[in-house]
A and B are shown apart, each in its own frame.
Chain A
Amino acid sequence: MTNSWTDIKNTDLIIVMGGNAAEAHPCGFKWVTEAKAQRGAKLIVVDPRFTRTASVADFYAPIRQGTDIAFLLGVIRYCIENDKIQHDYVRAFTNAPYLVKEGFSYQDGLFSGYDEAKRDYDRTSWEYELGPEGYVQVDETLQHPRSVYQLLKKHVAAYTPEMVERICGTPKDKYLAICKMIAECSARDRTMTSMYALGWTQHSKGSQNIRTMAMVQLLLGNIGVRGGGMNALRGHSNIQGLTDIGLMSDLIPGYLTIPKDKEVDFETYMSTRGFKPLRPNQMSYWQNYRKFMVSFLKSMWGPAATAENQFAYQWLPKLDVAGYDLLRIMDLMNQGKVNGYFCQGFNPLLSAPNRGKITASLSKLKFLVVMDPLQTETARFWKDEGVHNDVKPESIQTEVFELPTSCFAEDEGSLVNSGRWLQWHWAGQEPPGEAKADTWIMAQLHMRLRELYRKEGGAFPDPIVNLHWPYRDPLDPQPDEMAKEMNGYVVSTVTDPADPSKVLLEKGKQIDTFGQLRDDGSTACGCWIYSGSWTERGNMMARRDTSDPGNTGAYSNWAFSWPANRRILYNRASADLDGKAWDPKRKLIEWNGTAWTGYDVPDIAVNAKPRDVGPFIMNPEGSARLFSRGLMRDGPFPAHYEPFESPVANVMAPKIRGNPAARIFPADLAALGTSDKFPYAATSYRLTEHFHYWTKHVWVNAVLQPEFFVEISEQLAAEKNIQKGGWVKVSSNRGTVYAKAVVTKRIKPLICDGKTVHVVGIPLHWGFTGAARKGFGPNSLTPFVGDANTDTPEFKAFLVNVEPSNGPATS
Chain B
Amino acid sequence: MGLQSQDFARISATNFRPPDVRHDFEVAKLIDVSKCIGCKACQAACLEWNNLREEVGINRGVYDNPHDLTPNSWTLMRFTEWENPESGNLEWLIRKDGCMHCADPGCLKACPSPGAIVQYNNGIVDFVSENCIGCGYCVKGCPFNIPRISQADHKAYKCTLCSDRVSVGQAPACAKACPTGAIVFGTKQAMLDHAQGRITDLKSRGFKNAGIYDPPGVGGTHVMYVLHHADQPQLYANLPNNPKISQVVELWKGLTKYAGMAAIGFAAAFAFVHGIVARRNDVSRAEDREAEHLIDEEAARGRQA
Contact = CB atoms under 8 A, between A and B. Distances in A.
Interface of A: 22-23, 26-27, 29-30, 32-34, 36-37, 40, 50, 52-56, 58, 60, 688-689, 699-709, 723-726, 740-746, 771-773
Given A709-B59, A744-B81, A700 B44 contact: yes
A745 B90 contact: yes
A746 B56 contact: no
Interface string B27-70: 00000001111111101100110000111111111110110000
How many chain B residues sit at the interface, stated as a range, is 35 or more
Given A23-B39, A27-B179, A55-B37, 13 more contacts: A26-B179, A52-B94, A56-B35, A60-B90, A688-B40, A700-B47, A702-B56, A703-B54, A703-B56, A706-B56, A709-B61, A725-B59, A744-B81
B178 to A, nearest CB: 9
B59 A688 contact: no
Nearest to A688: B39
Contacts of A702: 56
The 10 closest A-B pairs by CB, nearest first: A725-B61, A724-B61, A22-B37, A55-B92, A707-B59, A740-B59, A725-B60, A688-B39, A26-B179, A745-B81
14 contacts: A29-B37, A29-B179, A37-B197, A52-B37, A52-B39, A53-B37, A56-B37, A56-B180, A58-B205, A60-B89, A703-B65, A740-B58, A741-B61, A773-B58
A706 B58 contact: yes
A703 B47 contact: yes
A278 to B, nearest CB: 44
B181 interface: yes
B298 interface: no
Interface string B87-112: 00111111000000000000000000
A704 B44 contact: yes
B244 interface: no
Contact of A706 (B65, B179, B181): B65
A688 B38 contact: yes
Contacts of B35: 33, 37, 56
B97 to A, nearest CB: 14
Contacts of A23: 37, 39
Nearest to B66: A703
Contacts of A53: 37
Nearest to A38: B201
B62 A742 contact: yes
Contact of A707 (B58, B179, B201): B58
B204 interface: yes
B67 to A, nearest CB: 10
Given A27-B179, A745-B83, A55 B201 contact: no
A704 B65 contact: yes
B201 A37 contact: yes
Interface string B191-211: 000000110010011000000
Interface of B is mostly: loop
B61 A726 contact: yes
A137 to B, nearest CB: 49
Contacts of A699: 53, 56
A55 B35 CA distance: 9
B176 to A, nearest CB: 13
A742 B59 CA distance: 8
Contacts of A740: 58-61
A32 B36 CA distance: 12
B136 to A, nearest CB: 24
B40 A689 contact: yes
Nearest to A704: B40
A58 B201 CA distance: 12
Given A29-B179, A771-B56, A746 B81 contact: yes
A352 B45 CA distance: 32
B177 to A, nearest CB: 10
Contacts of A27: 179
Interface of B: 34-41, 43-44, 47-48, 53-63, 65-66, 73, 81, 83, 89-94, 179-182, 197-198, 201, 204-205
B93 to A, nearest CB: 8
A744 B79 CA distance: 11
Given A36-B201, A700-B47, A703-B55, A688 B37 contact: yes
A740 B58 CA distance: 9
Contacts of B57: 703, 706-707
- Considering residues B36, B58, B180, B201, which has the most beta carbons from chain A within 10 angstroms of its beta carbon? B180
Contacts of A725: 59-62
Given A700-B44, A706-B65, A33 B204 contact: no
A58 B35 CA distance: 12
Nearest to B57: A706
Contact of A26 (B37, B47, B55, B66): B37
Given A688-B38, A703-B47, A724-B61, A33 B181 contact: yes
Contact of A746 (B48, B58, B92): B92
Contacts of B182: 33
B179 A50 contact: no
Contacts of A54: 92
A210 to B, nearest CB: 24
B186 to A, nearest CB: 16
A501 B64 CA distance: 73
A704 B43 contact: yes
Contact of A743 (B40, B61, B204): B61
A756 B79 CA distance: 28
A591 to B, nearest CB: 37
Contacts of A32: 180
Nearest to A36: B201
A772 B58 CA distance: 9
A709 B179 CA distance: 25
Contacts of B43: 704
Contacts of B89: 60
Contact of B39 (A22, A741, A743): A22
Given A706-B65, A707-B59, A724-B61, A52 B201 contact: no
A55 B38 contact: yes
Contacts of B62: 724-725, 742
Nearest to B94: A55
A700 B47 CA distance: 7
Contacts of A52: 37-39, 92, 94
Contacts of B38: 52, 55, 688
A76 B170 CA distance: 50
Contacts of A700: 44, 47-48
A37 B32 CA distance: 11
A738 to B, nearest CB: 12
A630 B252 CA distance: 83
A428 to B, nearest CB: 14
A703 B53 CA distance: 9
Contacts of B94: 52, 55
B36 to A, nearest CB: 8
B39 A30 contact: no
B181 to A, nearest CB: 6
A50 B90 contact: yes
A226 to B, nearest CB: 21
A762 to B, nearest CB: 13
Given A29-B37, A29-B179, A688-B38, A40 B204 contact: yes
Contacts of B73: 703
B182 to A, nearest CB: 8
A741 to B, nearest CB: 6
A746 B94 CA distance: 13
Contacts of A689: 39-40, 65
A572 to B, nearest CB: 33
Contacts of B36: 56
Contacts of A772: 56
A564 to B, nearest CB: 30
B73 to A, nearest CB: 8
A219 B203 CA distance: 32
